[in-house]
Amino acid sequence: MSALLELDGVARHYRVSGGVLGLAHGVARAVDGVSLRVEQGQSLGLVGESGCGKSTLARCILGLEPLAAGSVRFRDRDVSAWPERELRRQMQMIFQDPYSSLNPRMKIATIVAEPLVIHGMGSAAERRAATLELLETVGLDRALAGRYPHQLSGGQRQRVAVARALALRPALVVCDEPVSALDVSVQAQVLLLLQDLRERLGLTYLFISHDLAVVGQVCERIAVMYLGRIVEEAPAAELVRDPRHPYAQALLSAVPVPDPGHARQRQELRGELPSPLAPPSGCPFHPRCPQVMDVCRKQFPPRCATGVERYAHCWLHAQRQAG
Amino acid sequence: MNEPLLDIRGLTTAFAAQSHGHAGGGSRGVARAVDTVSLRVRQGETLAVVGESGCGKTVLALSVLGLIPDPPGRVIEGQALYRGRDLLAMDEAELQGVRGAHIAMIFQEPMTSLNPVFRVGEQIAEGYRLHKKTGRAEAAERAVEMLRQVGIPNPVERAQSYPHELSGGMRQRVMIAMALSCDPDLLFADEPTTALDVTIQAQILDLMRQLQTERGSGVLLITHDLGVVAETARRVAVMYAGQVVEEADAAALFAAPAHPYTRGLLASVPRLGVRRTLAPIPGMVPGIFDLPEGCRFRPRCANAYASCAKTPPLFAVESGHAARCWLYADCPEAEAEGRP
């Protein structure tokens, strides 16, 4: 089966100038050597902490960033080879902040219909009907069509953003922290909506979040990023139950569990996230890793199988395989 | 049982609607953002106040500390007794003596609560100098000592850093160092880890817990995160639309939530490793200018019935466990118990 989306060694580097005269130069490796596959109808969760490169990777996938290396293939064709309009029709996105992603001067109906107008789809009457249907699909009252974004709650606004993303019937929807700005009870409403739409419309999600519990709720597979690299990828349930990469283990153990009786076995991380301008040699996690070995300081670990359809970039697993 | 450090009694804070706002037709011009809230924080105990945006949890803390901007807001009723003295009856000079020295605060966003043009060491020293009436050298030493206590490496050098030179986690540690520099016995922490990554959050929560154990201070922790509540609090108060709707020991609250809103919140939270169908609460939180009559949760409540048109009092579901819900009308009223 061919993948809907296939990333091979994707890298995005930024040239950074600093210092008083802008003379100091450096290269920030925001995304480095990322390979991933997303099958049609599957949902892949991308987790990691601030600055790990997850949003930059999303922009690479959407064809919004020039790559320093590697390729992003969508439906077996490089994204740079797709006509932009066609790519945009098939790949849509939902952002974190429903307050800034909607134009405050446009009515809800206009916002949702805009992609249809841009892509010249249907007559005005057909677009009007499609818009109302989209509002209904995302659980919004048709009466809201004539309102402005400021008249809606955060949850309703995020539903509008979802309706707009679905207007062109895309195959892939990139969701970048889609529920992070919402209150708990509203967050659950939007998560249920996203799950339901996926089943009904056969959507494929790339779901970016810092919240592991949210990702585990929505996705079949999870990839964990650290400092521009994927460090582990596995089926969601397995990753949550039994993470293999020391960073994934620390990340999972840090998630607060809403159960006071829960026995906490926290693996506290030492130190701070290094700057992507001066990433550590070898494995970028080695200065903070409780199980660091000599080899980790010298060479980035290869992709090591850690089970069925799961792998980690970690020397611990390379050695286990060899031995 | 020891005397409460902080005893909040029937606190009500009202806001006047601004005339250019759109409060909806026929709205009342005054909203009770915090409505008759009574809570106690004891020595060495963390009380978590949990709720969603707009439930009044931050207004509650600001009211107690005398930090509500007037106009548009004003504390119109109640007392907030700190070691028996009513903070709400104090004048600004008296309050200044208490705030920072005996009661300290940590806010959500360390970048906006630190002054960008002063070195962090100076900022920590300033409060210490002011409250403890010490010289500069002693205060500077104290600042370094505090940075060391909150686990900042190379505290002597770090004291010379400006806020922008520090990461988010480090800035939050600086805020904690500043808050604790005068050895307060009561700490208000408003979403202290919300802006931080989970691994940093874990470090900060551990730090707060450790410092609290060492000093035996009381903590009022304001948060929306039920995971953080479960990991840090002994007592929990759940707020909804300005009122406390449930109060209990953390263990009891999570094991047997009584109020339909609390149950709904717990059913809304995705949990690691448990793939289950989320059961969100339908509808949304009402605006404080158009609260429903009677029980404020009634329009969203699956259990609502005729009685809910009247405002429910807090009922004592169990000893030490109260819920503002007519489902427990058979139980005695909680407010009668131990409340003057």
Q: Which residue spans within A75-187 are E strands per DSSP?
A: 77-78, 91-94, 172-176
Residue A322 has pLDDT above 70, yes or no: no
Taking only the tens place, the pLDDT of each residue in A184-227 is: 888 899 999 999 999 999 999 999 998 999 999 999 999 999 99
A251 Cα to chain B: minimum distance (Å): 6
Q: Using beta carbons and an 8 Å cutoff, which residues of A are at the interface with B? A: 49-50, 153-156, 183-189, 191-192, 210-214, 216-217, 236-237, 240-241, 250-262, 264, 266, 268-269, 272-273
Number of Cβ within 10 Å of residue B296's Cβ equals: 25
Hunting for tokens 């060495």 — which residue is that? B44
Tokens of B178: 């500043």
Question: pLDDT, tens digit, for every residue of B65-119?
Answer: 999 988 889 999 999 999 999 999 999 999 988 998 899 988 877 677 889 999 9
By Cβ distance, the residue of A155, A258, A269 closest to B199 is A269
The total of other beta-carbon atoms located within 10 Å of residue B93's CB is 7
Dist. CA A188–CA A211, nearest whole Å: 13
| Coil/strand/helix, residue A206 | strand
Q: Give the integer Cα–Cα distance in Å for A273 and A297.
A: 16
Distance from CA of A119 to the nearest CA of B (A): 34
Specify the DSSP element, H or E, that contains A182: none
For residue B51, the model assigns a pLDDT of: 92
Average pLDDT over residues A280-305: 93
Instruction: Count residue pairs from A and B with Cβ separation < 8 A.
Output: 128
Most A CBs within 10 Å, among B191, B199, B204, B262, to test the A interface: B199
Q: Determine the average pLDDT of the residues in B21-44.
A: 77
Spell out the domain ranges in chain B. Answer: 1-20+29-40+56-90+224-340
CATH number 3.40.50.2300 given to B1-20+29-40+56-90+224-340: no
Sort strands B315-318 and A303-307 into parallel, antiparallel or unpaired: unpaired
DSSP one-letter code for B148? H
| Sequence letter at residue A304 | C
**Measuring CA to CA, which residue among A308, A306, B99, A309 is closest to residue A318?**
A306
pLDDT tens per residue, range A242-259: 999 999 999 999 998 888
What local confidence, expressed as pLDDT, does residue B340 receive? 39
Task: Give the tokens for residue B149.
Answer: 């206590």
User: In the numeric block, which tokens belong to residue B75?
Assistant: 């504390």
Do residue B254 and residue A153 have CB atoms under 8 angstroms apart?
Answer: no
Q: Could you tell me the pLDDT band of residue A22, with boundaries at 50, 70 and 90?
A: low
Rounded to the nearest integer, the mean pLDDT of chain B is 89
Q: Which pLDDT does position B290 carry in this prediction?
A: 82
Q: Tokens 């990702």 map to which residue? A: A215
Strand ordering across the sheet containing A43-47: A91-94, A172-176, A204-209, A43-47, A221-226, A229-235, A310-313, A303-307
